């Protein structure tokens, strides 16, 4: 099973990265709230935990994940624009400009996704601090249990968010470094130069 999952991730790298980014973003948008039920029919106050989400924000969340994916694959995506067409010259200049922009600014594309995740995860500590500040909440049944479980889940979400961000940055750096060819093999350099001439722009940077 592990080998199958590993093979699937390697063969569907784009889908796997997008799924991880989107899952992290959606989980960060969930708001954990602990409320105390003090109904008269209850002998003691009862703590209840709720998960609240805004459907509008969830509906827009794929745009943030998709934009973050541009940090990895935006420059390479423009390579496939056709050049043998009436607008070939324009597409060629667009590819050159797009690859140059991606080369210098690609990490910035992760910023909206990172800010959205940080905003979602930042709401929970404020809420849990408000709950812990109320001494009367400690008398409620299950309050401490729900508080500990919520804190543990929030810690796991923090680990997932950091891991996703580090993975995206690492993949971005590997793709950027793949453009630079430092080999002294003349045949390999000639092959890379031929690809550059075929594409019409400097896909591989000779160093």
For residue 140, being part of any structural domain is answered with yes
For residue 90, being part of any structural domain is answered with no
The per-residue pLDDT for 160 is 93
Q: Which domain holds residue 47?
A: 2-79+106-179
For residue 101, being part of any structural domain is answered with no
Q: What is the mean pLDDT of residues 56-75?
A: 85
Point out which residues pair with 141 in neighbouring strands: 46
For residue 112, being part of any structural domain is answered with yes
The per-residue pLDDT for 158 is 93
Q: pLDDT confidence of 99, banded at 50, 70, 90?
A: confident
Q: Is the pLDDT of residue 83 over 70?
A: no
Q: Is the pLDDT of residue 9 over 70?
A: no
For residue 207, being part of any structural domain is answered with no
Instruction: Give whole-number Cα distances, 199 to 84, 105, 191, 195, 206, in Å.
Output: 11, 22, 12, 6, 15
- Reference 200, options 101, 103, 88; nearest CA is 88
pLDDT mean across residues, the chain: 81
For residue 157, being part of any structural domain is answered with yes
* Each residue's pLDDT tens digit, 117-176: 999 888 888 888 877 777 777 777 777 887 888 889 889 999 999 999 998 888 888 888
Q: Would you say 161 and 117 are in contact if contact means Cβ atoms under 8 Å apart?
A: yes
Count: domains in the chain? 1
For residue 85, being part of any structural domain is answered with no
What is the rounded distance in angstroms from the CA atom of residue 63 to the CA atom of residue 67? 6
For residue 20, being part of any structural domain is answered with yes
Asked whether the whole model's pTM tops 0.85, one would answer: no
Which residue reads 């890379």 in tokens? Answer: 192
């Amino acid at each position: 099973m592990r080998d199958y999952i590993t093979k699937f991730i390697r063969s569907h790298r784009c889908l796997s990265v997008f799924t991880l980014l989107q899952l992290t973003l959606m989980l960060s948008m969930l708001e954990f709230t602990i409320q105390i039920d003090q109904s008269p029919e209850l002998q003691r106050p009862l703590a209840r935990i709720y998960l609240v989400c805004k459907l509008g924000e969830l509906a827009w969340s794929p745009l943030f994940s998709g934009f973050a994916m541009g940090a990895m694959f935006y420059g390479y995506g423009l390579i496939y624009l056709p050049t043998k067409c009436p607008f070939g010259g324009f597409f060629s200049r667009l590819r050159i400009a797009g690859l140059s922009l991606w080369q210098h600014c690609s990490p910035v594309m992760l910023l909206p996704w990172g800010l959205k995740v940080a905003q979602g995860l930042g709401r929970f500590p404020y809420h849990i601090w408000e709950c812990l500040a109320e001494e009367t909440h400690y008398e409620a049944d299950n309050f401490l249990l729900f508080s500990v479980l919520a804190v543990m889940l929030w810690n796991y979400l923090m680990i997932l968010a950091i891991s996703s961000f580090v993975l995206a940055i690492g993949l971005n750096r590997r793709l950027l470094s793949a453009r630079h060819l430092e080999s002294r093999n003349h045949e390999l350099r000639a092959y890379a130069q031929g690809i550059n001439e075929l594409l019409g722009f400097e896909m591989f940077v000779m160093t």
